[in-house]
Amino acid sequence: MPDLQRHFDRTIEQDRRVEPRDWMPDGYRATMIRQIAQHAHSEIIGMQPEGEWITRAPSLRRKAILLAKVQDEAGHGLYLYSAAETLGADRSELTAMLIEGRQKYSSIFNYPTLSYADVGVIGWLVDGAAICNQVPLCRSSYGPYARAMIRICKEESFHQRQGYELLLTMMKGTAAQRDLVQDAVNRWWWPSLMMFGPPDDASPNSARSMAWKIKRHTNDELRQRFVDMTVPQADALGVTLPDPELRWNAERGHHDFGPVDWSELKRVISGDGPCNARRVAVRRAAHEDGAWVREAAAAHARKAAGGADVEAGLEADVEVGIEAGVEAGRR
């Protein structure tokens, strides 16, 4: 056991990846499963606020973009559930925990989307915050998670750009359109800052995740990076971020910003946000409606597995035959 622990510690120390078959401390495995599962749930629940606008997209082009984006989020969920399975988690158990409210997803998806400008603002701010969080996770110590994150980040940057481009278009439109954008920014700004989690001094698990190199930067560092990145983008867009205390601090080389209402985050995370019940109910209904698909797929897989045995047998026979022929040729 001490050898295994030493090997694990050295892997982390030397910045190598922990792989599924490697020994790892139970706490590392449990933390990793929880983080990956919550991330997967967030991708899947995150399809809903924007998915509600697919039938009401203002043009064919916007509909095609939004469809692609929402499908990407489904894909992200699938990679991540697969990554959790490499740690021994059971996929149906993870889904059960989500729809029974035993496992969380990002609080941001418990807010409603009130106009099409919200689609743009989610792409710009929510996917933007996700990128800030996730780029460092490409170097996370757990191999399958880190590798999944590389592809996810590439797609998230497309999401952010489509959102920003939509907002630029609306800002060049009518006064009413500009008002919709500003209203959406007012509603999504603070919840976006909450996406980085509680402040460092109130984030008890943070230090351990940093030591294990699951996390590379603290919540507050990432939040600051997001604010610094977003302010010039807001200026270019011509919107006002709803924070009277937001200003450049030359001494720190960063923007100062006003206090985040952490009681709101606590309330929304614990289930009392504007859309929590609806999000989970929609996910549960989709899961129940999909039961027949899972049964059919499982039956098909069983049949295919039987067929695969036969095929593997045939292939082995062919190989033996070729080898025999080669042997015969040599003689």
Binding site for Fe ion (CB under 5 A): 43, 73, 76, 127, 156, 159
CA separation for the pair 121, 116 (Å, rounded)? 9
Rounded to a whole number of angstroms, the minimum distance from the CB of residue 272 to Fe ion is 25
d(CA 267, CA 39): 20
CB contact set of 32 (below 8 Å; sequence gap of 6+):
24, 87, 142, 145, 214
Task: Name the 3-class secondary structure at 248.
Answer: strand
The single-letter DSSP state of residue 16 is: P
Go through the chain and tell me how many residues it has: 331
Q: Are 139 and 130 in contact (CB under 8 A)?
A: no
Our CB check for Fe ion shows the closer of 43 and 243 to be: 43
- Contact (Cβ atoms closer than 8 angstroms) between residue 115 and residue 183: yes
Q: Which is nearer to Fe ion, 12 or 78 (CB)?
A: 78
- Residues ≥6 apart with Cβ < 8 Å to 177: 117, 170, 171
Residues 127, 121: Cα–Cα separation, whole Å: 9
Q: Tell me how far, at minimum, the Cβ of 79 lies from Fe ion, in Å.
A: 10
Residues 268, 107 contacting (CB under 8 angstroms):
yes
Closest distance between Fe ion and the C-beta of residue 192, in Å? 13
Tokens of 6: 């030493």
Between 24 and 194, name the residue whose CB sits nearer to Fe ion.
Answer: 194
Closest separation between CB of residue 120 and Fe ion, Å?
A: 13
Shortest separation between residue 275's beta carbon and Fe ion, angstroms: 18
Indicate the SS3 state at residue 125.
Answer: helix
| 146 in Cβ contact with 214 (< 8 Å) | no
d(CA 18, CA 82): 16
Instruction: State how far the Cα of 89 lies from the Cα of 201, in Å rounded to an integer.
Output: 31
Question: Least distance from C-beta 72 to Fe ion, angstroms?
Answer: 6
CB of 63 or CB of 266, closer to Fe ion: 63
Element (H, E) at 241: none
**Distance between CA 246 and CA 249 in Å, rounded?**
9
Least separation in angstroms between residue 202's CB and Fe ion is 26
**Shortest spacing between CB 26 and Fe ion, in angstroms:** 29
